[in-house]
A and B are shown apart, each in its own frame.
Chain A
Amino acid sequence: MYGAPFLPDSSPPFGIVWPNAGGVEPVSVILPRVRRFELAVALTTRDPNAGRRHDSAAKNLLVLSLFFLVISSVLAAVMLVSIRFPGFTSPTSFGVLRPVTYTSAFLGWLVPSFLAGTYYVLPRLTGAPLWREDIAGLGGLALGGVTSAGLIVVALGLGDGIGPLSLPWWIDLPILVLLLIPVAVVTQTIRRRNETAVYVSLWYLMTGVLLLPVAYLIGNLPNLTAIGTAAESSFFTNAFLILWVVGMGSGLAYYTVPKTIDQPLASRSLARVGFWSLVLAAAWGGPAWLVHSPLPNWSESVAAVLGLAGLVAALATTANYALTASARWADRSEQPSLSAAWIGACFTVVVAGLMSVGGFPSAATLFGFTTYWEGVLFAATFGVGSLFTAAWAYQALPNLTGRAVYSNRLARRHIRLTIVGVGGTALFLGLAGLVSGYAATGAALSMGDEAPTSVLRSDVALGAAAFFGLVAMWAQLTLFTNLVRTVTSGRATLSEVLVTTEAKGSGPPPREGER
């Protein structure tokens, strides 16, 4: 096993493909064989951990995230309707639906989903078992419980109005503690790694996991000044989208793409450019949402310039995927994980481009504070997040369950509906923002002090956004259906048996000549 040649960068050497003749045998037949094979490996390598059960944390968190995927996508559709028809959803309102939607999407779906992906990828890239897999799984489930409590609290009108989540401090605190568990799991696993090389995926995953609690803490500090509260809202929104949705999603795709096509990553240098640009954009891009606010001008200018780093990161990552996949695009383009990763990467370019444009003062004169930014938020969450979730889940589920993806047709439908639904929603929310900003500017110019003080809305554009929001919900439900049916009734298929080795000390073994 270990004598076989390896592929540098993103083809982990610690997985074995166990061939299954015909690929049509039921799982009940395959699993005992897998266990026997694991036992054989354990005996031949004298690896005390070879027979252990891996991936339980990844499975638990994936199930949790699918539950919240449904909740958040339904809530998002209702939220979009409430923008166009404010009275329709009375007594609740957009003001309550928005934080409830994004709390369920961020903390209920995207954080557990990408954590599940991290827990799946980590042992495969380090050759070491996940550190305290039991705690990792329980921490994820506890996060789901606290998030559910937070949803109820915000729905009852007890939110603090800070950030997109609006959770009060006594909900923020346990969430912050629970976000520290993955930090310990990831860092301790990496410390015990058996691989000397640190793959590109790990840069993104370990940085995202470590910086999420930092961003959450800074972005939810209570009792700041008015401008401080507005700044932390924009800071956290920007940091979460860049660092977690784009960053973690890209990191998982850096594993998924090379694995799917059995080719090494095209360029480590390009990945390095993308990684550091992403960190810059996550830290500095927040004030771009607050251009022309009472924040100092230099802060907004720096944000506008460094917001371009997000676009650089997205372009570098997308180009890297394209270069990597180009070698075998002809025969692997139908793989659902590859398609989802590729379209997800294209979505990151669009989202990063919109954020960069909106951060420039001249554009912010029109777009500032309008539904344009709602479109950006929606596209990042339900476009990038959904596609990257699909990418890693389609690649991992066969190994987690021994079953092939239930339906490639459903996978393609999810991608198409996401392009149409999420793209359409973002487009029309952006148009509505443009109409609103342009109308307000025009009215002020022509009427002076007599200009209307109400917002001139484009009901047509908002109505279209609500319609496409329903399509986006359909897309997420399609993804949910495909993933669930993969687990329950997918065809038995090849399964990768993960074998890891518990290192006695910390850190990788020394290289030749360094003993």
Chain B
Amino acid sequence: MSDLLAAAAAALGSPEAMVKRSAEARAKASGMTVDEVLAAWSEGATITAPPPRDAEIPVAVAAIPAAAPPPLQVETVTALPGPAVAEAPISPSPPPARPPAPITTRPPVLVGRTDRPFRTLTAATGLFLVGSLLGFVAPVLLDASGEVRSSRIAFTTQAQTGRTVYEGQGCAACHTQMVRPVVADASLGPVSLSDSNLVLGINRIGPDLAHVGSRLDQVKLEGLLGTKSPDHPRAGGLAADDLAALVAYLVESK
């Protein structure tokens, strides 16, 4: 067998262990011996798996009635001249030959593990959803509920419009409005609480603006946002109303 295996592996260009495993599977599927399969492969031939089992069942056998005739009936039949006894219980008159079963459109399949992908998918989805709920939704909902001291700012209508402008212009891409309880933020003012209604942001390429209104007044902010500066992009393209609203939002962020 080892010679055959080596020859087949060489002919197929695959590792011997792989070829042996495949040959065993193919032999089982086709009803041949492993050596016969290997011999065929080593000569470059292919082994086709037999058709599905239902196509293998002879028509006459398939037509056997569910309830077999009683022995007495058999004895009666044996007394008669004619066909062999074995034919009697099958059918007194052979059924007309059925047309051959249509060849299935499904190709012979490889014998291997039967995985259940939707089980994996369900488990992964469940794990992801549980993680999302506990890691994201739960903390947000829990923290929105009870704080003794509120840090929400009662913004004017104009400032609320300015908050929308702040979001739309992407100011949060460079500026946080969140003071952390770490040394680096010690000079930025009171630490932010979870019920803040500022735009917290997650990037701090420019200064933090949580309490910018207490550091810069309206004139300075208008000058910064309305003129070109090498250190800050001009809020160009903003309508005068939007610029005023943005400044109002920042001034009220104290």
Contact = CB atoms under 8 A, between A and B. Distances in A.
Interface residues of A, number: 122
Interface stretch (A31-39, A56-64, A89-97): A89-97
Given A4-B46, A369-B204, A455-B204, A158 B186 contact: no
A454 B195 CA distance: 25
A159 B207 contact: no
B132 A83 contact: no
Given A294-B194, A452-B187, A5 B168 contact: no
A506 B151 CA distance: 57
Interface in B127-160: 127-132, 134-140, 142-144
B14 A157 contact: no
A8 B19 CA distance: 11
B230 A161 contact: no
B173 A95 contact: yes
Given A283-B132, A373-B202, A365 B182 contact: yes
Contacts of A197: 110, 112-115
A71 B137 CA distance: 34
Contact of A225 (B131, B140, B228): B140
A287 B139 contact: yes
Given A86-B232, A166-B170, A283 B131 contact: yes
Given A214-B129, A511-B114, A512-B28, A95 B136 contact: no
Interface stretch (B62-70, B80-88, B89-97, B100-108): B100-108
A398 to B, nearest CB: 20
Contacts of B110: 2, 6, 13, 195-197
A509 interface: yes
Contact of B184 (A166, A441, A448): A441
A448 B187 contact: yes
A229 B199 contact: yes
Contact of B169 (A3, A7, A93, A262): A93
A86 B230 contact: yes
Interface in B43-66: 45-49, 52-54
B205 A3 contact: no
B1 interface: no
A265 interface: no
Interface in B1-39: 12-14, 18-19, 21-23, 26, 28-29
A194 B132 contact: no
A250 B189 CA distance: 45
Interface stretch (A202-210, A332-340, A382-390, A470-478): A202-210
B56 to A, nearest CB: 11
Contacts of B244: none
Contacts of B19: 5
B172 A294 contact: no
Nearest to B41: A5
A294 B107 contact: no
Given A283-B135, A295-B143, A453-B188, A87 B167 contact: no
A303 B170 contact: no
A224 B140 CA distance: 9
B203 A91 contact: no
A94 B205 contact: yes
Interface string A472-515: 00000000000000000000000000000111100011011001
B247 interface: no
A21 interface: no
Interface stretch (A173-181, A231-239, A348-356): A231-239
Interface string A73-100: 0000000001101110111111110110
B233 A280 contact: no
Nearest to A82: B233
Nearest to A197: B112
A89 B233 contact: yes
A444 interface: yes
A6 B183 contact: no
B173 A7 contact: no
A194 B114 CA distance: 11
Contacts of A218: 132, 136-137
A225 B195 contact: yes
Contacts of B203: 369, 373-374
Contact of A451 (B28, B49, B187, B200): B187
Contacts of B201: 230, 369
Contacts of A40: none
Nearest to B19: A5
A299 B233 contact: no
A245 interface: no
A453 B238 CA distance: 27
Given A5-B26, A445-B183, A511-B114, A46 B103 contact: yes
Contacts of B118: 187, 190
Contacts of B236: 90-91
A284 interface: yes
A451 B186 contact: yes
B183 A299 contact: no
B184 A440 contact: yes
Most chain-B CB neighbours within 10 Å: which of A229, A232, A457?
A229
Contacts of B185: 440, 444
Contacts of B138: 299
Contacts of B167: 159-162, 166
A23 to B, nearest CB: 18
B144 to A, nearest CB: 5
Contacts of A227: 140, 143-144, 194-196, 200
B71 interface: no
Given A3-B26, A511-B114, A365 B183 contact: yes
Nearest to A302: B135
B170 A230 contact: no
Nearest to B128: A283
Contact of A87 (B113, B205, B233): B233
A410 to B, nearest CB: 30
B220 interface: no
A368 B135 contact: no
B204 to A, nearest CB: 4
A-B pairs with lowest CB-CB distance, top 6: A283-B131, A95-B170, A91-B236, A161-B167, A3-B46, A5-B22
Given A207-B124, A306-B131, 20 more contacts: A4-B46, A6-B110, A45-B107, A87-B229, A93-B174, A95-B233, A203-B120, A233-B202, A282-B131, A295-B143, A299-B138, A365-B182, A368-B182, A440-B184, A441-B184, A454-B207, A504-B106, A512-B29, A512-B111, A515-B54
11 contacts: A3-B47, A89-B233, A93-B169, A95-B170, A226-B196, A227-B144, A290-B202, A369-B204, A374-B203, A454-B206, A504-B106
